Structure 1
Amino acid sequence: MGFMDKAKDFADDHDEQVDQGLEKAGDQIDDRTGNKYSSQVDKGVDEAQERTGAGDTNG
Protein backbone atom coordinates (compact mmCIF):
# COMPACT_ATOMS: atom_id res chain seq x y z
CA MET A 1 0.00 0.00 0.00
CA GLY A 2 1.45 3.34 -1.05
CA PHE A 3 1.64 6.55 0.94
CA MET A 4 -1.35 8.09 -0.84
CA ASP A 5 -3.47 5.01 -0.14
CA LYS A 6 -2.52 5.17 3.55
CA ALA A 7 -3.28 8.90 3.67
CA LYS A 8 -6.70 8.35 2.07
CA ASP A 9 -7.51 5.53 4.50
CA PHE A 10 -6.47 7.73 7.44
CA ALA A 11 -8.62 10.61 6.17
CA ASP A 12 -11.59 8.26 5.70
CA ASP A 13 -11.21 6.83 9.20
CA HIS A 14 -10.58 10.19 10.90
CA ASP A 15 -12.70 12.62 8.89
CA GLU A 16 -13.75 14.75 11.86
CA GLN A 17 -10.16 15.21 13.03
CA VAL A 18 -8.99 16.03 9.49
CA ASP A 19 -11.76 18.62 9.10
CA GLN A 20 -10.87 20.17 12.47
CA GLY A 21 -7.19 20.32 11.48
CA LEU A 22 -8.03 22.05 8.22
CA GLU A 23 -10.17 24.56 10.12
CA LYS A 24 -7.32 25.30 12.55
CA ALA A 25 -4.88 25.73 9.65
CA GLY A 26 -7.26 28.20 8.02
CA ASP A 27 -7.55 30.13 11.29
CA GLN A 28 -3.76 30.34 11.55
CA ILE A 29 -3.51 31.66 8.00
CA ASP A 30 -6.16 34.27 8.80
CA ASP A 31 -4.23 35.30 11.93
CA ARG A 32 -0.96 35.63 10.04
CA THR A 33 -2.50 37.65 7.22
CA GLY A 34 -4.65 39.85 9.43
CA ASN A 35 -7.80 38.30 7.90
CA LYS A 36 -6.89 40.01 4.63
CA TYR A 37 -7.76 36.88 2.62
CA SER A 38 -10.36 35.42 4.96
CA SER A 39 -13.02 34.72 2.34
CA GLN A 40 -10.53 32.97 0.05
CA VAL A 41 -9.09 30.97 2.98
CA ASP A 42 -12.58 29.92 4.11
CA LYS A 43 -13.46 28.81 0.59
CA GLY A 44 -10.22 26.81 0.34
CA VAL A 45 -10.82 25.16 3.72
CA ASP A 46 -14.38 24.24 2.75
CA GLU A 47 -13.19 22.74 -0.56
CA ALA A 48 -10.45 20.76 1.19
CA GLN A 49 -12.89 19.45 3.80
CA GLU A 50 -15.24 18.26 1.07
CA ARG A 51 -12.41 16.37 -0.64
CA THR A 52 -10.95 14.66 2.44
CA GLY A 53 -12.33 11.77 4.41
CA ALA A 54 -15.52 9.85 3.87
CA GLY A 55 -17.58 13.05 3.93
CA ASP A 56 -17.56 16.62 5.11
CA THR A 57 -18.40 16.74 8.80
CA ASN A 58 -18.57 20.54 8.99
CA GLY A 59 -21.12 21.33 6.36
Structure 2
Amino acid sequence: MAKYRTIQKAYAELKKRDPETAISQNYIRQLVINGIIPSRKAGSKYLFDLDKLEEYMQTAK
Protein backbone atom coordinates (compact mmCIF):
# COMPACT_ATOMS: atom_id res chain seq x y z
CA MET A 1 0.00 0.00 0.00
CA ALA A 2 1.28 3.45 -0.92
CA LYS A 3 2.45 5.75 1.87
CA TYR A 4 1.08 9.09 0.64
CA ARG A 5 2.58 12.10 2.37
CA THR A 6 2.66 15.85 1.97
CA ILE A 7 6.06 17.39 1.31
CA GLN A 8 6.28 18.55 4.94
CA LYS A 9 5.37 15.13 6.36
CA ALA A 10 7.79 13.33 4.04
CA TYR A 11 10.59 15.65 5.07
CA ALA A 12 9.77 15.14 8.75
CA GLU A 13 9.92 11.35 8.30
CA LEU A 14 13.26 11.52 6.49
CA LYS A 15 14.66 13.82 9.19
CA LYS A 16 13.43 11.44 11.90
CA ARG A 17 15.12 8.45 10.22
CA ASP A 18 18.32 10.37 9.48
CA PRO A 19 18.79 13.58 11.49
CA GLU A 20 21.93 14.40 9.48
CA THR A 21 20.26 14.12 6.06
CA ALA A 22 21.37 16.62 3.44
CA ILE A 23 18.00 16.43 1.67
CA SER A 24 16.01 19.61 2.18
CA GLN A 25 12.30 20.22 2.11
CA ASN A 26 12.83 22.54 -0.85
CA TYR A 27 14.65 19.78 -2.79
CA ILE A 28 11.71 17.40 -2.24
CA ARG A 29 9.33 20.17 -3.35
CA GLN A 30 11.28 20.67 -6.58
CA LEU A 31 11.27 16.92 -7.33
CA VAL A 32 7.49 16.84 -6.88
CA ILE A 33 6.68 20.07 -8.76
CA ASN A 34 8.93 19.12 -11.69
CA GLY A 35 7.24 15.71 -11.98
CA ILE A 36 10.33 13.70 -11.09
CA ILE A 37 8.37 12.15 -8.22
CA PRO A 38 4.77 11.38 -9.31
CA SER A 39 2.21 13.25 -7.21
CA ARG A 40 -1.40 14.32 -6.90
CA LYS A 41 -2.59 17.73 -5.86
CA ALA A 42 -5.09 17.87 -2.99
CA GLY A 43 -6.21 21.46 -2.62
CA SER A 44 -3.02 23.46 -2.34
CA LYS A 45 -0.88 20.51 -1.20
CA TYR A 46 0.93 17.85 -3.15
CA LEU A 47 0.63 14.22 -2.08
CA PHE A 48 3.12 11.61 -3.19
CA ASP A 49 4.22 8.10 -2.29
CA LEU A 50 7.14 8.22 0.15
CA ASP A 51 8.45 4.96 -1.33
CA LYS A 52 8.83 6.70 -4.73
CA LEU A 53 11.03 9.36 -3.16
CA GLU A 54 13.19 6.71 -1.52
CA GLU A 55 13.45 4.78 -4.82
CA TYR A 56 14.49 7.95 -6.63
CA MET A 57 17.13 8.77 -4.02
CA GLN A 58 18.62 5.28 -4.33
CA THR A 59 18.81 5.38 -8.13
CA ALA A 60 19.56 9.08 -8.80
CA LYS A 61 22.99 9.90 -10.19
TM range (shorter): 0.3 to 0.5
The answer to which structure, 1 or 2, has the higher relative contact order (CA under 8 A, 6+ apart) is 1
User: Considering only CA atoms, is the larger Rg found in Structure 1 or Structure 2?
Assistant: 1
| TM-score, length-scaled by structure 1 | 0.36
Q: Tell me which protein shows more strand as a share of its residues.
A: 2
